[in-house]
A and B are shown apart, each in its own frame.
Chain A
Amino acid sequence: MIEWLAEPLGHGTALRAMIEIIILGAVSGAVGCWVVLYEISYSAESLAHGLFPGLVGAALLGVPILLGGLVGIVAAALLVALVTRLSSDSADTAIAVVVTTLFGLGVLLALSPGSPPGIQALLFGDLLGVTDTDLAVAAGIAFCVLAVLWLFHARLLAVGFDSGSGRAFGLSPGAVTALLLTLVAVTILVGVQGLGNLLVAAILVGPAATARLLTSRLRTMFILSVSIAVAAGIAGIYVSYYAGTASGASVAGCLVLAYLAAAAVNAIPRGRPARATSLSA
């Protein structure tokens, strides 16, 4: 068993993938709690998908993925803001229109003859392809995101609790929400290389949503969310290593399994037997 567990760690690629997923799990698990508490999962997922043309553009031009993603995510955010303002439709509709357009544009670029191979890695990620430099960059950014979360914890909590009274208590709900969205965007950027454009939302929303099912205590929710993200990430790497499956998809699969397990646990409430009795009576 120990050999079985230790074997992948002897391989540089699997070890780096392991370290990468631990970094991603720590930062996504924490940011994800705020995404779930602020009920902005849909916006977060849309941001992740909307930056696709940026990633493809970076691959075509041969510039770093992170840079392409940054341009892509800023463009997506600005477009959503613009369309929301111009159209009379709801923000939901604006986001859906902008994101499908951008994603379609990305696919069009990706399928063009000039496109380098490896576009698939942009969609589904390539955890086994991370370099030492990638790891250092990811660790640095993750540290900064976690530090900002720590510093603004009380303000994020207060605005999420009731943004309506925020201003009366010296807070500016708009600025705090913008800060959170920026952190979400940065977290997506860190995760997109490993997990890809389609799967990065899984580690951002999945563990936090799972933790939310299991506890109503804030501190416990953060600890659980980060633990689940890291554990499911590591499990995914092992699955990928031994079953030969795609690494990003394996991690996403483990995250979904964790959520389903939590939902199953949650579906057995204390009051269930009593209700069954009253139904049969």
Chain B
Amino acid sequence: MAVSDVGLMTAEHKPVVIADHVELGYGGEVVLGGLEFAVPTGSRVGILGPNGGGKTTLFRALLGEITPLSGGLEVNATSATVAQTDRSRLDYPVSALDVATMGSLARLPWWKRPGKTERSRALEALAEVDLADLARTRFGDLSGGQRQRVLIARTLTADADLLLLDEPFTGLDSKNEERLERLIDRLASSGHTVMIATHEVEQAERWDLVLCLNRTQVSFGDPAVAISKPVLEATYGGHIVEIPGQPNLGVLPAHHHHHHHESGKQS
């Protein structure tokens, strides 16, 4: 376990995720190895890494869709993903409320239909993401940022306490980006653990923990310690542009930012 997260741990709270020498992959071939970390309840974890670095594979393992090839992966929470909204069907005839209500299916036995209780819970979830007034709007007619928040509301309806956000900031303007960051802060302070795959190093620096992946775990811990120029070079393969006056930090060259479609395909 990384030294830096000790401050966030409390004796009565078991970490939500504990990875112990975990190797993940498909058909016996390791795609992501060396996972060794613990995520405390209510923390915001940025996940940095290039496309194909293993972010999607990690999410699939945390959702229980794949089992580790070796090592122990303990997930002590109900996890749910928020997929990239450009992969959902925009022509589908459902309202924001319909989508948020879908989360309730996770808790209902198969012979039960979602009813009034489920719909009012979904409406509450939409209110939590500031979309109560757009509940009846067709999902496809919402903006990218609003769709993202509807999908977050769906995870809240599912009572998930570990939320996995797959590059949620892609395609958002700065206003919606701020809004989503505030929502993530709010979710964390209400006890949700949020893991966010992102390409924005600066963003990851503002969160509690960072996990850098490049087919193996490059580093994990408090961003102040875990993000450094050598770490970023190991994570992204050495193509780092330095920020003048901040020799320890880097920004990524532009071509790393808009390749989310490729990372989507590996799932």
Q: Is A215 an interface residue (CB 8 A)?
A: yes
The docked-state distance in angstroms from the alpha carbon of A165 to that of B92 is 16
Nearest neighbor of B114 in chain A, beta-carbon distance = A154
Contact with B along A214-229 (1 / 0, CB 8 A): 0111100100000000
* A153 in contact with B113 given A168-B63, A170-B106 (CB within 8 Å): yes
What's the nearest-Cβ distance from chain B to residue A65, in Å? 33
Q: Please determine whether A167 and B267 come into contact, CB atoms closer than 8 angstroms.
A: no
Known: A215-B93, A217-B93, A218-B94. A164 touches B101 (CB 8 A): no
Please state if B105 and A155 are interface contacts (CB–CB under 8 Å): yes
Closest chain B residue to A162 by CB distance?
B88
Q: Which residues of A149-177 are within 8 A (CB) of B? A: 150-151, 153-155, 157-158, 160-162, 164-165, 167-171
- Interface positions, chain B 74-127, Cβ under 8 Å from A, are 79-81, 83, 87-89, 91-94, 98-99, 101-103, 105-107, 110-111, 113-114
Q: How many residues of B contact A (CB 8 A)?
A: 30
Cα A92 to Cα B91 in complex, Å, equals 23
Given contacts A169-B158, A218-B94, A221-B93, contact A158 B83 (CB under 8 A): no
Most chain B Cβ neighbours within 10 Å, of A37, A158, A167, A216: A158
Interface of A: prevailing SS: helix
| Cα(A221)–Cα(B92), bound, Å | 11
Q: Whole-angstrom distance from the CB of B145 to the nearest CB of chain A?
A: 18
For B80, list chain A residues within 8 Å (CB).
Answer: 165, 168-169
Residues of A within 8 Å of B103, CB to CB, are 169
Closest-by-CB residue of A relative to B267 is A164
A51-79 contact mask (Cβ, 8 Å, vs B): 1 or 0? 00000000000000000000000000000
> Would you mind naming 8 contact pairs between A and B with Cβ atoms under 8 Å apart?
A155-B105, A162-B83, A162-B88, A164-B83, A164-B87, A169-B103, A216-B91, A218-B93
Chain B interface residues (CB < 8 Å from chain A):
63, 65, 79-81, 83, 87-89, 91-94, 98-99, 101-103, 105-107, 110-111, 113-114, 138, 140, 154, 158, 267
Chain A interface residues toward B at CB < 8 A: 37, 150-151, 153-155, 157-158, 160-162, 164-165, 167-171, 215-218, 221
Known: A169-B102, A170-B105, A221-B93. 18 other contacts (CB 8 A): A37-B93, A151-B111, A151-B113, A154-B101, A154-B102, A155-B105, A157-B102, A160-B92, A161-B102, A162-B83, A164-B87, A168-B79, A168-B106, A169-B80, A171-B106, A216-B91, A216-B93, A217-B93
